[in-house]
Structures are given as C-alpha cells and as structure tokens.
Amino acid sequence: MTKKAVGRPGAAPAKPVSDRRAAAAARRGQELPAATPAKRPAAGLGQADTAPRPTRPVAAKASTATAPAKATRIKVQAKKMGYYGHERRRVGDVFVVDRAQFNPSWMAPVDAGTKLQRTTGREELRKKHDEILQMKNADRVATAEHEVEDTGDNPLDAD
C-alpha cells in the first residue's frame, strides 16, 4: 500500500523540513550552516536522555558462605488480632515479618520450621457460629436434665 498525500488534490508530496529550510534560505540569498545540531529536549519532559551516563563502580559482593548474614525476617504467631502487610491477622495465624516491625504486644516468635497458617474471614465466621451452637446445645442439655426429674408430686397428673 502506498501512502496518500495529504493536502490539495494533485499537490506534490511534502518535502522534508531540512529541504524546505534550505530552499527558503536560498530565496533570501542566505546560506545555512552545513550541519545544525539538533536541539535536545530537557530531561524529564517525556523524552529519553540519550547521553551516556557515567557508570558507578560496583563493589564486589561478599561471599555468603564466609560471612553469614543476620536474618532480617522472622516467623511469628498472632496472640490476638492485628494487622500486618495490609492483611488482618487473627489469633493463631503464623506469618513472616521484618525483625524491625515485630510487635510483642500481639506477636510471639515461633520456630522457623513452623508451617505458615492464615485464617480467612469465612473460617472465622464458621468457628464463631459453631461456638454459639455449642453454647446453645449445652444450655439445652442442662435444662433437659432438670426437667427429666419426676418426683410424682405433680397435681396435674391425675392417674
């Protein structure tokens, strides 16, 4: 496919900008410099800076086999509900925190071999519902034991 010329019908295709500038300068009787350096946009205005950047010397990394690094993250268990990492942590949840963000008021450190555990909201609701049903059933059993006693002194039983 060929690209159609935009503009008047039958007009010649547009010349590059450098050719038009040269023609305009020739009509005025002026000469253009042989090579005009292109202006570079200021850095940060959406154009990439193409100038080579100075390189920084890279320090050699120390071998981890010779110098053990101090662990910066530890496994903890939630003693009560709290928030860490934009998530609600419920009682019993085991998760990993940065040592600097450890909070002893609601976290307890655990062994590194402890399996991670997270309680979802649905699991928490199911657990609360089961607790409520157990309490109701315990009350029914306790009241049923008292009603079962029959001393025979009931005046409504006229047998």
Q: Please report the pLDDT score of residue 73 as a whole number.
A: 92
Residues paired with residue 117 on neighbouring β-strands, in sequence order: 94
Domain parsing of the chain, residue ranges = 77-109
How do 94-98 and 107-109 pair as beta strands?
A: unpaired
CA distance 23 to 18: 9
Reduced to 3 states, what is the DSSP secondary structure of residue 98?
Answer: strand
Q: Please report the pLDDT score of residue 27 as a whole number.
A: 81
The angle formed by the CA atoms of residues 91, 96 and 98, to the nearest 5 degrees, is 120
Q: Please report the pLDDT score of residue 147 as a whole number.
A: 61
Q: Please report the pLDDT score of residue 137 as a whole number.
A: 86
Please, what are the averages of pLDDT over each run of 10 residues along the chain (159 residues)? 58 68 79 60 55 65 54 91 92 94 94 92 93 87 62 67
Q: Please report the pLDDT score of residue 118 as a whole number.
A: 92
